[in-house]
């Protein structure tokens, strides 16, 4: 076999595989780095005696108490706001829209997926972070947040028609992302996946997110830096409920998370 004929392909394939392995290794390393940085930051800020060798997190019931305290404290802070807030209770698979601390809508979570970051970090430090509300910094969706309806005014009262408000819930694919000030990204996806249009929307929504993350990672690797890592929460709920949540919450709304 004339290997010279395929030398270019072999070199290109080898370079691609090396870069792919390096990219995967760097991505895994970025998770470890994020966990270590989070824990070290907590240790430096925690007010405790460095000579104390007692692991209080190992005391039965201790973590449950500080989680409950964090959860209640965050709700009190959200109640001080006048706008609509969102409570995401992962443990009980419930989402609530709140006004002044009072629930105005409750939604069951069909399915969810948590980033490994939340299991690996110091749980006391995580509870401390969740004791405050998260603020939405940006959002992206497959549909409009504020729908616009254009109507032509009638010439006189004889042309006035009372039309029922059209329901486009079953025709729009509902996928959206919320970025927060705590570097946590929350994905909402519709549970329904029967229509071809919905499957295409899900594919391109995921593809867009992966391409953006890959682009950031490649830029970081090019300058010999660790790729950025953003802990995530993925939530699947009914399409109609997901649309209500996205259109109800303010662009800089508050979120309470319960792990």
pTM of the model: 0.79
For residue 121, what are the CA distances in angstroms to 55, 56, 67, 207? 15, 16, 14, 28
DSSP 3-state of 174 = coil
Rounded Cα gap, residues 98 and 76, in angstroms: 12
Q: Is 190 helix (H, G, I), strand (E, B) or coil?
A: strand
Q: 10 Å Cβ neighbour count for 135?
A: 14
| pLDDT tens sequence for the chain (259 residues) | 555 666 676 677 776 566 566 556 556 667 888 888 888 888 777 655 555 555 666 677 788 889 899 999 999 999 998 889 999 999 999 999 999 989 999 999 999 999 999 999 988 899 989 999 999 999 999 998 876 555 565 665 555 555 555 554 457 889 999 999 999 999 999 998 878 888 888 888 888 888 887 777 777 767 777 778 899 999 999 999 999 999 999 999 999 999 7
Domains observed in the chain: 3-258 (2.40.440.10)
Q: What is the DSSP letter of 201?
A: H
């Amino acid at each position: 076999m004339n290997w010279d004929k395929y030398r270019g392909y072999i070199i290109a394939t080898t370079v691609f595989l090396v870069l792919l392995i390096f990219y995967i290794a760097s991505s895994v390393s970025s998770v470890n780095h994020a966990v270590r940085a989070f824990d070290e930051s907590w240790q430096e800020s925690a007010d405790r005696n460095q000579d104390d060798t007692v692991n209080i997190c190992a005391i039965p019931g201790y973590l449950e108490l500080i989680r409950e305290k964090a959860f209640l404290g965050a709700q009190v802070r959200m109640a001080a706001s006048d706008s609509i807030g969102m409570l995401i209770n992962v443990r009980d698979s419930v989402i609530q829209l709140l006004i002044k601390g009072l629930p105005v809508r409750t939604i069951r979570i069909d399915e969810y997926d948590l980033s490994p970051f939340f299991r690996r970090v110091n749980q006391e430090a995580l509870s401390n972070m969740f004791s405050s509300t998260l603020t939405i910094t940006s959002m992206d969706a497959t549909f409009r947040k504020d729908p616009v309806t254009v109507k032509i005014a009638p010439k006189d009262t004889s042309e006035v028609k009372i039309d029922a408000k059209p329901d486009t819930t079953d025709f729009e694919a509902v996928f959206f992302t919320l970025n927060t000030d705590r570097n946590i990204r929350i994905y909402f996806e519709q549970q329904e996946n029967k229509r071809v249009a919905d499957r295409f929307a899900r594919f391109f929504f995921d593809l867009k997110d992966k391409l953006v993350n890959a682009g950031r990672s490649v830029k970081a690797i090019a300058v010999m830096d660790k790729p950025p890592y953003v802990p995530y929460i993925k939530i699947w709920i009914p399409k109609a409920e997901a649309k209500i949540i996205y259109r109800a919450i303010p662009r800089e709304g508050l979120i309470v998370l319960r792990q």
